[in-house]
Structure formats: C-alpha cells, structure tokens
Amino acid sequence: MGQITLKQVTKSFGNVEVIPSLDLEIGDGEFTVFVGPSGCGKSTLLRLIAGLEDISSGQILIDGQDATSVPPAKRGLAMVFQSYALYPHMSVRKNIAFPLRMAKLHKAEQDRRVEQAAAVLNLTDYLDRRPGQLSGGQRQRVAIGRAIVREPSAFLFDEPLSNLDAALRVGMRLEISELHERLKTTMIYVTHDQVEAMTMADKIVVLRAGNIEQVGSPLELYKNPRNQFVAGFIGSPKMNFIQGEEAAKYGAHTIGIRPEHIAVSETDGTWSGIVSVSEHLGSDTFFHIHDTGLADTITVRAGGEIGFRHGDRIHMTPREDVIHKFNENGLRFT
Amino acid sequence: MATQQSRSAARIMMAPAVFLLLGWMLIPLCMTLFFSFKKYLPLRGDSMANGLEWVGFANYVRFVSSSSFWPSIQTTLIIVGGVLVITIVLGIALAILLDQPMWGQGVVRILVIAPFFVMPTVSALVWKNMFMDPVNGILAHLWKFFGAEPIQWLSQASLPSLVMIVSWQWLPFATLILLTAIQSLDSEQLEAAEMDGAPVHKRFFFIVLPHLARAITIVTLIQTIFLLAIFAEIFVTTGGAFGTKTLSYLIFQRVLESQNVGLGSAGGVYAIILANIVAIFLMRIVGKNLDA
Amino acid sequence: MARAVTTNRKMINTAVAWLIGLLIFFPILWTILTSFKTEAQAIADPPIFLFFDWTLENYSVVQERSDYMRFLWNSIFLAGGSTILGLIIAVPAAWSMAFVPSKRTKDILLWMLSTKMLPAVGVLYPIYLLFIQLGLLDSRIGLTIVLMLINLPIIVWMLYTYFKEIPGEILEAARMDGAGLKEELLYILTPMAIPGIASTMLLNFILAWNEAFWTLNLTAVNAAPLTAFIASYSSPEGLFFAKLSAASTMAIAPILILGWFSQKQLVRGLTFGAVK
C-alpha cells in the first residue's frame, strides 16, 4: 500500500512562506511527478512527505494514518537523492544492506535481498566496490537498490537524473519506468525537466511558487492546460503565445498554439515571417521565425525534409481546432 | 534544514562546550577586573578573606605611568612588527620558491616546516646557547672565521636576537599558509596575463600579490595574537632583561614575581583590550568566510 | 595545467630550495648532531660537523639526572588527556553546529574563537588563585583541563569545518533508511568523520605538547611536562651543550615525527578554516 494524502499542508521558513495551503491526493501505485521551475517548492514538498522537514501546519496521511509527526525512518518511505547520497565508506553491498541492517533483519535475509536487488539493477559485479569507484549511472543504481530492498510503501525521487549526462539520462528514465511497471509501488518523482515528467508520469503535478497549478495525466495537461503557465511549461518546444489583434479575433486576451500545430508553406498561409534560425534534427526541423507581426518569435515544428533557410520568407497556417484561448488572468477558456 | 527534534538535540549537545568556555572566559575575566580596582599585595598580608581595599583607577594610572610601561609597549611593537615583516616577506618568497617544480619538493617542505613543531622552550634555549653564545656559539665561530669580533647577542643585540628566534619559529607557519594560498591560484590566470604581455614582476604585483592579500591578512592577524602573548622565549633567554620586557612579560612580572596582583590585573585588562582590537579584525574575516 | 619546465630551471630551483630548506632546518639538525657528541667536542673550535666520536652518553646522563621519563609521561598525559577530553566535548558541539545550524551558530562559533584570543597573562592570577583554592596547582588533572579549555575553540572549529564537508543529504539518506540519532552517529557520521577527527587530534596533541605558558606557570615538580624540563636548563652550568642537545632532542623528536604527518591540517586548524 502507498496512498499519500496532504491536507492543507503549509510550510514557512521563518517569514517566507514556501508552500501556501496545499491539498493533494496520491493514489496507491501511482507514478506521480512534481514538476515546475526551480524554486517552485517541489523539492520542499517531497521533503515534507519524507519527513525531513516539519510541516508548518496541516496534515500528512500515509495509507490513511496520520504521519505528520512520525520521524522519517518510521514512515516506510524510501528516497533517492539528487546527489545519490551513498555512504562513501561502505561497499556497494553494505550501502544497499544499510536500511535492512537498521531494520535488524537476519543476515541471511539481508544477503538474499541485496543479491536480488543487485541482480535486478545489474550491480552483481560491483557489490564489493566503493561508491567512489563507480560511474554516475552505477551510483544511481546503487541508490535505487538501497531504496528497493526496504520494500517501501512509496519511493521518493529528488531530481535523480540531473547529475547524469544526456544519453545516460534517457536510459535511466526507462529503467525507472520499468521498475515502476514491475513493482507497482507508489512513486513520487521531482524534476524540473518536463520531458521526464511527460514520459514517466501517470500523474503530473505542476507547481509554481508553492501552489499547485494543475494536476492531471500528461496528455490531459498537454491537451487541456488550465492556464497559460501550464500551457507554456508542458510541451517542447514551448507553445507560442500571441496577444493583441490576432488574439482579439478569437475573442481572447492571448491565444496559444503549439509549434507542432502550425503548417508551413512557401507560398501561402494565414501568417508569414522571415526564418531566423532553422534547427535540423533529421526527424524534425524547428524554425524560429521573426517579423511575423504576432510575437517576437514564432516557433514551428515541421518535417525533417523541409528546407527553409535563414532569411527565407515562410508562410504559416495554424490548426484552428487546437488553438488555446486565455483571458487577461491567463486562465484558459473554451 | 532540520526538524524540531534534531534542533533540541543539537542544543543539548552544544551545551557542555558553550558552558565550559563561558566559565573559562567569564570567571577569570571578572576576577581580573575585580582585582584591578583593588590594592592586593599577597606578600604584605592582603588577602581575599580580610577584604581588599578599593583603590578605584589607581592601578590603571600607576601601570601606565610606571617607567617600564612605555618601553614595554615599544618592545612589544618591535617584536610583533619585526617578526611579522620578516615572516611575511620571507614567507612569500619561500612559498613562491616551493611552488616551483623541483626534485624532492616534499622533503624540502618538511625541512622548512619543522621549526614550527619545536617547543618554544627548546628553540629559545638552543638558539641562546648553541648559536648565540658569545664564546662557543656557532654564530661566534662564524664571526671569528670572518675575522670579526663576536657579538654578545642576547645582551648587546637582545631585541634583534629575539626577533630572529621568534621569526625562525613562525616562518614555517607563514610559509605554509601562503603556499596553500599560492597553490589555489588558477594557473590559467597567470597564463592569460602572460598572453597579455605582462612580464614576471608585473604578474607578481598585479596577480599573485592581490591573490595572496587575504592569506597575508590572516597570517598577520593570527601571528599578532600569538606574538602579543609570547612568553617562554623571553622567560628562558633574557628573563625580561636587556630591554626585552614585552607588555605580557611585564604583567607576568607584576603578578607573579613582585606579587602586585592589583597592578598586574590592571595591566591584564589593558592587554585584553589590545588583543580584542586585533581579534575584531580577524573575526570579521573569518566570519565572512563562514557565510561563503 | 602545470607547464613543462626546462631541466636547467628545475635544477636551479632544486638547488636553491634545498639550500634554504637545510638552512632553516639547520638548528634542529645541529641540535640532534650535538646530542651525540662529547661535551668537549660540542664546543670544539672550529665546530665538528659529522666526524666526531658518536656517543649515547648524554642521553643516559640526562635521564639519570632529571628523570626524563617522568616529564615525558607528564607531557603525554597532558597532551593526550586534554586532546581526548576536548574531543569528547567538541564532537557533539561541532556536529550539531554543522548539521543543525541555527541563526546563532555563526555567532557562537565566532564567540568561541574570541575566547582563544584572550591573553593568558591577563587571567593568570585568577587561574593561579583558583588552582590554589581547588588544590589543583601542580596537578596533572588541573593542567589537563586548562590545556583542554585553551584548545577547545580550535578543536570545535576544526571539527566544524570537517563536518561541514560531509553532505547533509547523506545523513538524510541514513534517516530515511531508518537510522536513529545513535545509528547515524555510529555508522555514518563517525566513520566519515574519522579522517577529520584524526587530524584534529594530531594538531591539538602538538599544540598541547608545545604549550609553554600554563605548563610553566602552573606546575612545579609533579605535573611538569617537557617544556618545564627544558626550561630547567636555562641557567648554564659548566659544559652542557651536549646534554642540552640530548634533552632537547628527546623533547622534540616525538612531536617532529607527528608534526610531519599533520602539515596540511595545520593550515586549516590554525586559520580556523579561513585558508584550506
């Protein structure tokens, strides 16, 4: 079981309110991602759930039990830290066994569980090394191994991939997703990278300045962002926002259109502009277009073979059915 | 950063150290202050039990107006200033030298640092007898070798001799800290300056020296605090004679040798104030470093 | 990146550095050499550098005459005792300041530092008086406590800077893994802090060993350590250079050896972490 409920949780550091009153329900077995720009309070929220910080007011329930004043060790949660936080003076084996040793499990049972976790994470050959002798990806696996062996009711991940290089990050992302499929344990994952959020989450919680902006599945957020902030944060490249006359045509203060929802042509279209930079990725091409009279830059995503160059005039046609309309307060309406 | 539980545990764990130091500082300090306003000559029958006569600021006035006061201030300044200049100038030179590529760098480093680990009484005695003895000392042999009349080091040139002994003890400290600072200088900065056409001496004055400024300040402050309190070196070499009586040594004599506790305590208060002036500057630097 | 230098340059560096290094080390070397000479050879003119009749006689004379072993034992007791006592008090304090910092932590640290700067001579008589009252004069226990107190700020500071380098996330990880305060200290903090604690011990042992104000003023016979043992040679008596050298060598040899291991920590400890 691993159901976590936050009721009117607030957190202040001195006079600074980091999290104003917040309610959240995380279902058993769910992979929930907290995402938001740096300083949005997502890590603090995770640390409150972990018990590493005291909440200023409100209640945290784990499986229906009030855990507000339960120390971290007794909450039955496991955490993977950004820096991995491996014990540098212990071998990999001892690192992974540490929580079991703290739980005073039998030596034989400890060994069995460590071997099992090591097999799952491809660490069997490294069990007798020290963390200092491992690569970044291997350290990450050890940290995960240390979390798995406890069989916690939920895993907490605090930006676990941010110290890895790009290629490794993609690999680990898959491994963590697979792990979740196999264990079916609740996972709460903090990241500032919306790609990680979109690819891994069952449920995304978008945070800004300690407030929940929106909660929903990745596609829900992509299709129906509640406001301009979520619309801009989810999706890559970012949604284009257009204000003024063009928006007024739709009866909105601001309209938003995703780069992938704009068709381009050499000859005709609703809008036009001059290509400033074109980025060829092979599979796709991103055009950054200036002098459109709509916004500073309009970004368009087109097929890989389309070959506009710097300085070319380009014509664009947005897909009318996926134009998002926002009012003066940034809220989306239909 | 932490939970309520760990915070109260922290307070309890800090308590012994805080209270011990508080006691160590406050009790003697208050007693010194108390004595400094009293006539207290234990050898003439004054004692705490019989009650001590309140004399106001008389001790303070007498301490400053005594004929030994100004010479002791002068001596203190010469020793502190002399040692500081010698150790810092030579320390920078040595640090730069030791930073150069060479064979046996580790061994040379050890040789240079060694004097710091010699206890003050030993270094003072070794210098006094085996080097500065006017008949059998090495320096006397050296002078004679060059046909010069050996110097009566500790009586004719007592202050320079003391400065020399103390500098020898503290040069390793200055060198070590300056060397650590030099090694933290980004060599790309020097290479950039070289590319910009700066010759060696300009690289030293515009890049190396400013980089060392902080370390030099720290060496100055820490050494000043230790040098103000210098004791054993004077105790075993001249015993305060031949104009080597520093402020600290004067107070020591007033309190323990002539057993004038009131007068000595007034001197002690002066010394404490003097040390605190230096300490404030040091604490500022260290405090800034804590924030970083 | 260090640049390659010509061999010539390197040879000059080496020669100059060794010359200066040996010059600075010379008084120590000379003391050690002289301790193996006879008294007559010790004052020979011109001085004999290496080719004398090596003898151990001085060492046995010194031991017989002034009971070197008792002073040595006192030095070990005082330096060791004050270091261990200091650690017992400082480790918890430094731990809590490094890992549970509060707004006042910085002020407390600086205040502790300021107690170290109190000139000893300013509080000499009160301590002297208290020692007489408490019957601690010339006792090892009393002096151990004083040496502990004068070095306590340095111990706390050094430990604090070492503990600060242990990432807080590791301790949080231990907490998440079910470690209580006791386990945290025992399995995580202590093993990780041992190198720092060891260097703190070493430096404070050296400082206490060489302390020469309180050890000279608060002892007479019973508690007198090597600093006092040497000071008793301050009035010359006939031919005594060789014996003085032997006594000096015995007083500094243990600490010279320890000191060479602690060069790096020396900087950190004596600058209160301001230079690393």
Contact predicate A5/A60, CB 8 Å = yes
Domain count, chain C: 1
Nearest to C167 among A77, A83, A146 (CB): A83
Residue A24: pLDDT band with limits 50, 70, 90: very high
Least confident piece of the model among A83-97, A184-198, B158-172, C223-237: C223-237
Say if residue B1's pLDDT is above 50.
no
Q: Is the dihedral of CA B249, B227, C35, C253 positive or negative?
A: positive
Report CB contact under 8 Å: A146, C180.
no
Measured N-to-C along each axis, helices C68-99 and C105-116 cross at an angle, to the nearest 10 degrees, of 160
Residue of C100, C175, C177 to mutate, interface with A, max A Cβ within 10 Å: C177
Q: How far apart are CA B229 and CA B219, in angstroms?
A: 16
B231: closest CA among B81, B122, B87, B121? B121
B partners (3+ CB pairs within 8 A) are A, C
Report CB contact under 8 Å: C179, A102.
yes
Please state which CATH number belongs to domain A4-232: 3.40.50.300
Q: Which residues pair with A190 in a beta bridge?
A: A34, A158
Report CB contact under 8 Å: A50, C176.
yes
Q: How far apart are CA B227 and CA B219, in angstroms?
A: 11
What whole-number percentage of chain C has pLDDT above 90? 11
DSSP 3-state percent helix, strand, coil across chain C (nearest 5): 75, 0, 25
- In chain A, what is the straight-line distance between the N-terminal and C-terminal CA atoms, in Å? 39
Residue of C102, C176, C194 to mutate, interface with A, max A Cβ within 10 Å: C176
Q: What is the pLDDT of residue C1?
A: 42
Report CB contact under 8 Å: B104, C231.
no
Q: How far apart are CA A125 and CA A143, in angstroms?
A: 16
Classified as helix, coil or strand, C138 is coil
Contact predicate B137/B151, CB 8 Å = no
Shortest Cα distance, chain B CAs vs residue C176, angstroms: 13
Buried b (16+ CB within 10 A) or exposed e, C78-92: bbbbbbebbbebbbb
Shortest Cα distance, chain B CAs vs residue C203, angstroms: 10
Mean predicted lDDT score pLDDT of chain B: 83
Residue B168: pLDDT band with limits 50, 70, 90: very high
Q: How are beta strands A313-318 and A271-280 bridged, if at all?
A: antiparallel
B7 in contact with A, Cβ within 8 Å: no
CATH fourth-level superfamily of A237-333: Nucleic acid-binding proteins (2.40.50.140)
CA gyration radius, chain C: 23
Residue C95: CB atoms within 10 A of its CB come to: 24
Say if residue C268's pLDDT is above 70.
no
Nearest to C152 among B21, B181, B265 (CB): B21
Q: What is the pLDDT of residue B86?
A: 94
Measured N-to-C along each axis, helices C57-66 and C68-99 cross at an angle, to the nearest 10 degrees, of 80
Which residues of chain A make contact with C185, given a CB cutoff of 8 A? none
For C245: left if phi > 0, alpha if psi spans -120 to 50, otherwise beta; the answer is alpha
B31: closest CA among B15, B62, B52, B61? B52
Nearest to A73 among C167, C175, C188 (CB): C175
Q: How far apart are CA C151 and CA A316, in angstroms?
A: 76
Q: How far apart are CA B57 and CA C181, in angstroms?
A: 54
Residue A120: CB atoms within 10 A of its CB come to: 18
The size of chain A, in residues, is: 334
Per the domain annotation, does C24 fall within a domain?
Answer: no
Per the domain annotation, does C49 fall within a domain?
Answer: no
Which residues of chain C make contact with A52, given a CB cutoff of 8 A? 172, 175-176
Per the domain annotation, does C127 fall within a domain?
Answer: yes
Residue A326: pLDDT band with limits 50, 70, 90: very high
Least confident piece of the model among A196-205, B131-140, C233-242: C233-242
DSSP labels, B176-240: HHHHHHHHTS-HHHHHHHHHTT--HHHHIIIIIHHHHHHHHHHHHHHHHHHHHT--HHHHHHTTT
Domain extent at residue C103: 62-274
Shortest Cα distance, chain C CAs vs residue A196, angstroms: 23
Nearest to B122 among C20, C30, C248 (CB): C248
Which residue of chain B is at minimal alpha-carbon distance from C86?
A: B17
**How many CA atoms lie within 13 Å of A173's alpha carbon, on the beta-carbon side?**
22
> Where along chain A do its domains lie?
4-232, 237-333
Which residues of chain C make contact with B145, given a CB cutoff of 8 A? 46
Q: Rounded mean pLDDT of C239-258? A: 84
Q: Which residues pair with A26 in a beta bridge?
A: A4
Q: What is the pLDDT of residue C4?
A: 63
Say if residue B167's pLDDT is above 90.
yes
Q: How far apart are CA C88 and CA C202, in angstroms?
A: 15
Report CB contact under 8 Å: A52, C178.
no
B177/B187: higher pLDDT:
B177
Residue B177: pLDDT band with limits 50, 70, 90: confident
Amino acid identity for residue A28 in this structure: D
The size of chain B, in residues, is: 292
Q: Rounded mean pLDDT of C100-122? A: 83
A277: closest CA among A316, A310, A312, A240? A310
0.85 surpassed by complex ipTM = no
Q: Rounded mean pLDDT of A120-139? A: 90
Which residues of chain A make contact with C183, given a CB cutoff of 8 A? 102
User: Of A41-50, B275-284, C200-209, C239-248, where does the model show the most confidence?
Assistant: A41-50
A154 in contact with C, Cβ within 8 Å: no
Say if residue C86's pLDDT is above 90.
yes
Q: How far apart are CA A239 and CA A171, in angstroms?
A: 27
Angle, alpha carbons B31-B37-B41 (nearest 5°):
80
Classified as helix, coil or strand, A4 is strand
Report CB contact under 8 Å: C176, A71.
no
Which residues of chain A make contact with C192, given a CB cutoff of 8 A? 87-89
Nearest to C176 among A79, A86, A101 (CB): A79
Q: Which CATH architecture has domain B67-259?
A: Orthogonal Bundle (1.10)
Angle, alpha carbons A35-A39-A42 (nearest 5°):
40
Residue of A13, A47, A102 to mutate, interface with C, max C Cβ within 10 Å: A102
Mean predicted lDDT score pLDDT of chain A: 90
Contact predicate A221/A234, CB 8 Å = yes
Say if residue B136's pLDDT is above 80.
no
Report CB contact under 8 Å: A150, C180.
no
Shortest Cα distance, chain C CAs vs residue B18, angstroms: 8
- For A237-294, the pLDDT digits (tens) are 899 999 988 888 888 999 999 999 999 988 888 898 999 999 988 889 999 999 888 8
Shortest Cα distance, chain C CAs vs residue B160, angstroms: 18
Q: What is the pLDDT of residue C58?
A: 80
Contact predicate B212/B92, CB 8 Å = yes
Which residues of chain C make contact with A81, given a CB cutoff of 8 A? 169, 172-173
C63/A47: higher pLDDT:
A47
A50 in contact with C, Cβ within 8 Å: yes
DSSP labels, B27-50: HHHHHHHHHHTEE--GGGT--TTT
Q: How far apart are CA B281 and CA B278, in angstroms?
A: 6
Say if residue B43's pLDDT is above 90.
no
Q: Rounded mean pLDDT of B31-37? A: 87
Residue B204: pLDDT band with limits 50, 70, 90: confident
Which residues of chain B make contact with C128, given a CB cutoff of 8 A? 255-256
Burial class of residue C120 (count of CB atoms within 10 Å of its CB; 0-12, 13-18, 19+): buried
Q: How many CB pairs under 8 A join A and B?
A: 9
Q: What is the pLDDT of residue A276?
A: 92
Amino acid identity for residue A181 in this structure: E
B5 in contact with A, Cβ within 8 Å: yes
Buried b (16+ CB within 10 A) or exposed e, B213-249: eebbebbbbbbbbbbbbbbbbbbbbbebebebbbbbb
Q: What is the pLDDT of residue C273?
A: 62
Least confident piece of the model among A8-17, A272-281, C192-201: C192-201
Which residues of chain C make contact with A72, given a CB cutoff of 8 A? 172, 175-176
Can you read off the two tokens belonging to residue B87?
């150790």
Residue B146: pLDDT band with limits 50, 70, 90: confident
C171: closest CA among C159, C151, C186, C154? C186
The size of chain C, in residues, is: 276
State the DSSP code for A9: E
Q: Which residues pair with A286 in a beta bridge?
A: A279, A301
Per the domain annotation, does C178 fall within a domain?
Answer: yes
Per the domain annotation, does C35 fall within a domain?
Answer: no
Spell out which chain A residues touch chain B, with contact meaning CB-CB distance below 8 angstroms. Answer: 51-54, 71
Q: Which secondary-structure segment (H or E) carries A298?
A: strand A298-303
Q: How far apart are CA A287 and CA A275, in angstroms?
A: 7
- For C4-26, the pLDDT digits (tens) are 667 888 888 888 989 999 999 98
Say if residue B52's pLDDT is above 80.
no
Angle, alpha carbons A33-A37-A38 (nearest 5°):
105
Shortest Cα distance, chain B CAs vs residue A32, angstroms: 24
Which residues of chain A make contact with B3, given a CB cutoff of 8 A? 51-54, 71
Least confident piece of the model among A152-161, B43-52, B178-187, B189-198: B43-52
A324 in contact with C, Cβ within 8 Å: no
Q: What is the CATH number of the domain that holds C260?
A: 1.10.3720.10
What whole-number percentage of chain A has pLDDT above 90? 54
Backbone angles phi, psi at A230, to 5 degrees: -65, -40
Residue of B1, B6, B12, B14 to mutate, interface with C, max C Cβ within 10 Å: B14
Say if residue A331's pLDDT is above 80.
yes
Shortest Cα distance, chain A CAs vs residue C192, angstroms: 7
Residue of B3, B5, B6, B8 to mutate, interface with A, max A Cβ within 10 Å: B3
Nearest to B97 among C17, C30, C118 (CB): C17
Which residue of chain B is at minimal alpha-carbon distance from C48?
A: B138
Q: Rounded mean pLDDT of C235-253? A: 80
Stretch 68-107 of chain A: residues touching chain C, C-beta under 8 Å: 71-74, 77-79, 81-83, 85-89, 98-99, 101-103
Can you read off the two tokens belonging to residue B186?
């980004």
Amino acid identity for residue C145 in this structure: I
Contact predicate B18/C105, CB 8 Å = no
Q: How far apart are CA C47 and CA C44, in angstroms?
A: 5
Q: Which secondary-structure segment (H or E) carries B156?
A: helix B153-156
